[in-house]
Amino acid sequence: MKIPPVRRIASSLVAGSLAVGILSGPGEAAPVAWTAAWGASPQLPSTGFTPNWSQEGFSHQSLRQVVRVTKGGDLARIRLSNTYGTSPLKITGATIARTTRGAGVGQGSVRHLTFGGERATAVPAHGEVRSDAAALGLKRLESVTVTLYLAGTTGPATFHAQGWADTYRADGDHQADTSGAAYTSSTQSWYYLSGIEVGGSGALTPGGDATSAGESAGPDGIVVFGDSITDGFGSTPGTDRRYSDALAERTRRPVVNEGIGGNLVLNDSAWFGERATARFARDVLAQPGVSTVVILEGLNDIGFSEAAKGANPPPTYKPAPVVSSAALIAGYRKLIHAAHDKGLKAVGATLLPLKGSDHWGPHAARVSNEVNDWVRHAGEFDAYADFDKALAAPSDPDRLNPAYDHGDALHPNDAGYRVMADEVAGVLGR
């Protein structure tokens, strides 16, 4: 089912940064058309699947994070989140630079970021801040490095658990270092950094040529919203092979990934974030320059109760109520209505095959089929991507194709994520 051409949103619909994204930030002389080019949904500090620094936090340390932007521009700014902090987060200094290798950055590319004209700032408890615009021209699909210097003691850190990319830490102030030598430890989570936005009078093509902002027909950014499959679990770390990455490469449109591993549509989780219906406004509607959201979520809602039946189920699978298809569909409707209220297209996705995984059982099998039938035939989404059929094993439609299976019968591998990107690109039009 191919989506009709995305309706361009008039500037009168702008609420904050929800549609066109034309804003004046602190220290900017004139309005700037901003577009979200990278994102990560904030999470409560927790142990996570791999070792991380969220619970210990930081003290007199520099934190260097590498991400890839999906749109170019001649200006850049960052968004910092202290969503789960109980006291102000004091940022002593911050820089942005082009990535070279590992924790190293390009000579001459380091820009000191300011916040309301000052290099230091405090992010309020439960709040967020955006930096001022920095004159750093970036190309689409270029890696960029953000460094935070935290001179004080932060306490537990708001973070994103599954980054699938290295984040580096150094003792002392190394925010302006071009060498990565001081950064001697690393994890694969992101801390405080929840977004990078690009803008300015021009946008850079992959070849580096500027094109007039006036040539743009309007916002065309895509947010992919969901759980661990959207987050990229099973993709090769450090290679940008999530389905969101492949989608940005295929469509040439900005793509922001707002997946959280383990996330649920209907219930909050101490490990896996606020429920989808609660975080949707923050993670989707507040992104500037976005026109479309792709929603893939629900496997955990129906699968946790199956997994919890096993011997010694992990505590991360709680809460695990038995969820009906009607309840899950009601949750989808809330997301669809919220997207439409802000002028966004809502693209649904069928749930992937899960037979043989720890999420599989009689209840999950029945509900996943009922949900997928509704996604395909109800017509309430503006369009849908049929991941269920695209990734199914030829010999068993309830099972993930072995060629696309990461190894747990639930999460795709790099090849599977490329297939998912192709499905969405086909729906949206490349």
Amino acid identity, residue 369? N
Asked if residue 382 and residue 241 are part of one domain, the reply reads yes
Which residues sit opposite 203 in a β-bridge?
211
What does residue 102 show for φ and ψ, rounded to 5 degrees?
60, -130
Q: What is the pLDDT of residue 311?
A: 75
Three-state DSSP state, 382:
coil
**Weakest mean pLDDT among 205-214, 262-271, 405-414:** 205-214
SS3 content of the chain, % helix, strand, coil (to 5): 20, 30, 50
| Residue partners of 281: CB distance under 8 A and separation at least 6 | 338
Element counts in the chain: helices (H) and strands (E): 8, 25
Give 329 or 13, the one with higher predicted confidence: 329
Q: Are residues 168 and 308 in the same domain?
A: no
Q: Look at residue 51 and tell me if it is in a domain.
A: yes
Confidence of residue 31 (pLDDT cuts 50, 70, 90): confident
pLDDT category at 430 given cuts 50, 70, 90 is: low
The answer to whether residue 268 sits within a structural domain is yes
Q: Is 210 a domain residue?
A: no
Kindly report whether the peptide bond that precedes residue 156 is cis, defined as omega within 30 degrees of 0. no
Looking at residues 296-314, what average pLDDT do you find?
90
Residues 59 and 149 in one domain: yes
User: Contact at 8 Å (CB) between 128 and 79?
Assistant: yes
DSSP state of 12: G
More confident residue, 351 or 217: 351
Stretch (H or E) spanning 229: helix 228-231
Q: What is the pLDDT of residue 188?
A: 97
In this predicted structure, which of 7-11, 203-207, 307-311, 347-351 has the lowest mean pLDDT?
Answer: 7-11
Same-domain status, 276 and 417? yes
The pLDDT mean for the chain works out to 90
Residue 1 falls within a domain, yes or no? no
> Whole domain around residue 246: which residue ranges?
218-428
For residue 164, what pLDDT band results from cuts at 50, 70 and 90? very high
| pLDDT tens digits for range 225-258 | 999 999 999 999 999 999 999 999 999 999 999 9
Is it the case that residue 19 has pLDDT exceeding 60?
no
Does residue 417 register a pLDDT over 80?
yes
Look up the CATH number of the domain holding residue 230.
3.40.50.1110
Give the model confidence (pLDDT) of 352-396 as tens digits: 999 999 999 999 999 999 999 999 999 999 999 999 999 999 999
Does 187 share its domain with 252? no
Residue 13 confidence (pLDDT): 24
Residues 78 and 173 in one domain: yes
Beta-bridged to residue 212, according to DSSP, are 202
The more confidently predicted of residues 18 and 149 is 149
- Same domain for 382 and 237: yes
Tokens of 204: 């850079």
Count of structural domains, the chain:
2
Q: Does 213 map to a domain? A: no
